[in-house]
Amino acid sequence: MRKVQTISVVVALLFSLTVRAQNNETAKGTNNFAPLPRDLEIQLALSALPPHLRDNATVYVLNPDKGFEVARQGTNGFHALVARTGDDTFRGTWSLKAYRDDILYAISFDEAGAKAQMRVFFDAAEMQAEGTPPEELKRIIQDRYKTHYYKAPERAGVSYMLSPILRTYVTPDETEDVATANIPHVMYYAPNVSNKEVGAATPTSEQLHYFSEHGRWPDTPYPFLILHGPHGYMIQFRGVAERDAITKEYEGMLARLCKIKDEWCLPQ
């Protein structure tokens, strides 16, 4: 009798482990997305930076099975990557029911930002690769913000986003609407600062609508804040002439992205 019970326990254990392994593989399969060609991902990541910082910056590529990995070790203290599930994904109360495969934006950080802001991108990519369900991942990241697991940058600093293309959430604090845009800009760390305190101009509903439809601003507004709280940023857009020059420089890269996915074609 005892032998039969032992066999039953072993069978049950093996069944449990098999089911768990299958569930993990299923979760990973549903959470992954096709990676970019390596050379294209590196070029897109570096397009976030101004020319004088690109050659010596550390560059990361995304391994869907593990998370971000170093593609090239730099020496100047700047770090560049392409976000496929960005920090704005975890804003607001809307439910993250599925991982999108069309989010795409190049972002860079100085040393202060790499220690603080960049950690969210790395943790999210790693947990997503492990098969963490979308709603659970959003809850975990939001809890870490609330408990100050993710600390604000230790000093003033800058995050360059000068690439001619991004696709991400328009107003992540409110909705999950996304748009593809050409808005090269620079972001300055502004922890726990409000638009009112610094006299920043909050985008109007008309500007946001135009942005969603056309992928650019109807004009170049004064700086304004996004992602309010310890990890907030003040955004300053580049001018039209600089935007057009950047777009011209990366015509080949933009054409390759557009061929991969329709959502990565710049609005006409």
Per-residue tens of pLDDT for the chain, all 268 residues:
544 454 444 444 444 434 344 444 444 445 567 899 999 999 999 999 999 999 999 999 999 999 999 999 999 999 999 999 999 999 999 999 999 999 999 999 999 999 999 999 999 999 999 999 999 999 999 999 999 999 999 999 999 999 999 999 999 999 999 999 999 999 999 988 888 888 877 777 777 767 766 666 666 567 888 888 888 899 999 988 999 999 999 999 999 999 999 999 998 7
pTM: 0.85
Question: At residue 82, what are phi and psi to the nearest 5 degrees?
Answer: -110, 115
Give the ranges where the chain is alpha helix by DSSP (H). Answer: 2-31, 38-46, 51-54, 111-115, 117-130, 134-146, 195-198, 205-214, 240-249, 251-260
The reported pLDDT for the residue numbered 31 is 56
- Tokens standing for 55? 């050659």
Helices and strands (H, E) in the chain, number of each type = 10, 10
Using DSSP, state whether 181 is helix, strand or coil. strand
Query: What 8-state DSSP symbol labels residue 229?
Result: S
Nearest to 116 by CA among 158, 85, 76, 82: 158
* Residues 6 or more apart in contact with residue 11 via CB below 8 angstroms: none
- How many whole angstroms from its chain centre is CA 30? 19
d(CA 245, CA 40) in angstroms, rounded, equals: 20
d(CA 256, CA 43) in angstroms, rounded, equals: 11
Considering Cα of 131, then 134, then 137, then 139, what sign does the dihedral take? Answer: negative
Q: CA distances (Å), 178 to each of 103, 139, 210, in order?
A: 8, 20, 13
d(CA 189, CA 196) in angstroms, rounded, equals: 16
CA diameter of the chain: 84
d(CA 63, CA 264) in angstroms, rounded, equals: 20
The reported pLDDT for the residue numbered 199 is 83
Nearest to 264 by CA among 128, 163, 159: 163
- Tokens standing for 232? 């907030």
Rg (CA), the chain: 21
106: β partners: 82
Q: Do residues 145 and 124 lie in contact, with contact meaning Cβ atoms separated by under 8 Å?
A: no
